[in-house]
Chains A and B, each alone.
Chain A
Amino acid sequence: MRGALATLLALGLLGAAAASEADPAAETLRVFAAASLAEPFQALVKSWTGPPLQLQLGASSALVVQIQEGAPADVIATADQPTMQRLVDAALVETPQRFATNRLVIAVEKGNPKHVAKLADLARADLVVVLAAPEVPAGRYARQLLDAARVTVAPRSLEENVKAVANKVALGEADAGIVYASDAQALADRVEAVEVPEAATVEVTYWIAPLRAAKAPAAARDFVALLLSRTGRDALAKAGFGPP
């Protein structure tokens, strides 16, 4: 009984330790990245020759909060500048670099069955429209776009990240959503992008910075260099991102 209890306890502690801190000798590079960067970053991981790379994807704003609360990260890539600025202001990151751009599109189901042609169509009452929450970059950009075009939309849901918006369209639950061109491309088998001219007024920029408290500072710099290299540019372009 006593032995069993001690074994259980030891197992539990080992598990917790293994889960939180991998073998310190073999360092891990922890990359926190905006959800919309999933495809190019996953592609980049294949050309990565440094230490094991752990990719954490989520809304930029959610990642920034996690880092502010002490989550161990070596590199952070955000889908806008203001979100990155919060880390700059808190002196948590080195100087961020702009590495890509993106543009907003309307994601509709493949074949565009509801005939969505322009931004003003999103105000139609027969459309189920979802947007990203205003707290996350994609939601902020979408609001900026709709304001610039003077279109009032009654979204049925404010999703927690841009991938969730694209997926609601892909699942057929929403008729339209404002996402990045790269998100629509990633789901090209089920989703179609409707280009809107007003999107030129909203500059979507991606920023990357190594963390000052990085546990793997050298690898963090290497990763930023890889992203800014030809390989990185190609991976981003292939996924539908624009040059910085």
Chain B
Amino acid sequence: MTRAGPRGDRGLPPWWIAVPAIVALALLGLPIAGLLARASWVRLAADLASPEVVAALRLSVVCSLAATALALALGLPLAWILARGRLPGLRWLRALATLPMVLPPVVGGVALLFAFGRRGLVGRWLATSFGVTLPFSAGAVVLAETFVALPFLVGAAEAGFRQVDRRYEEAAATLGAGPLRTLIGVTLPLALPSLGAGAALGWARALGEFGATITFAGNLPGVTQTLPLAVYVALETRPEAAIALSLLLLAISVAVLAVLRDRWLAP
């Protein structure tokens, strides 16, 4: 008599796996269901077309894209060093590059103030030497968003650079390509899927940034009030507008997931 295959073969997990998994799905899905249930679909268009919402959306898109660009420009070289460097203490650098991921964003905002505020370590010098003050400016929003997006980008890019088969680079070098040409022609294209995923995750994180932004950049419609800040402020007096804004952010998040589906949703 042949033994029946493991239950997993029929795709049915044992109950002690199924029950927590269903609870997990409920935990993830119910808040979204709640949001959808409370939305007033009739007024949605009107709520989303208000000048405040349009300004917040514009600011969010511009700042999060700028932050992603900045995170790419600064994060790729750092990721390359973390992946290829032979420096002692590299793991401490890696820990530093991961820190904003675990740091409460409000703490990040306060830390940014102490560094780049008018009285901050660097900010004091920026103010006296160049007359530049970052807090309460869109630049502060970009900086706060870059701060929180960098770990996602650096982490993904480092993994990407590690996966690149060094033999291709060596072959390129043998054929006479210089380091820059090898990097642009061989390493970056091979690491591109990871870089893309990192950039998309970093961008999504930047778009959703709240704590560091409101602490470091303040909240002024059209200047520093991004979508998440607008949601928070609207919730106090106009909950229906807050729900409309939340749906907008939700739609954007779903779109990012759709773009990333090959990497994150495929088994």
- State the A residues within 8 Å of B (CB): 2, 5-6, 9, 59, 61-62, 64-65, 128, 130, 133, 135-136, 155-160, 168, 171-174
Contacts and interface: CB of A to CB of B under 8 A. Distances in A.
Contacts of B239: 65
Interface string B205-241: 0000000001001111101110000001111110100
A83 to B, nearest CB: 9
A173 B236 contact: no
Given A157-B224, A171-B119, A61 B136 contact: no
A62 B16 contact: no
Interface in B116-155: 117-119, 133, 135-136
Given A65-B235, A173-B136, 16 more contacts: A2-B16, A5-B16, A61-B237, A64-B236, A65-B236, A65-B239, A128-B133, A130-B136, A133-B219, A136-B236, A156-B136, A156-B223, A157-B218, A160-B233, A172-B119, A173-B135
Can you list the 6 inter-chain pairs with the closest CB atoms, starting with the nearest? A157-B218, A61-B236, A156-B136, A172-B119, A135-B236, A135-B237
Nearest to B114: A171
28 contacts: A2-B16, A5-B17, A59-B236, A62-B236, A64-B236, A65-B239, A128-B133, A130-B218, A133-B219, A133-B233, A135-B234, A135-B236, A135-B237, A136-B236, A156-B218, A156-B223, A157-B136, A157-B220, A158-B221, A160-B214, A160-B232, A171-B113, A171-B117, A171-B119, A172-B118, A173-B113, A173-B117, A174-B136
Nearest to A3: B16
Contacts of A156: 136, 218, 220, 223
B5 interface: no
A2 B19 CA distance: 13
Given A155-B220, A160-B214, A172-B119, A62 B136 contact: no
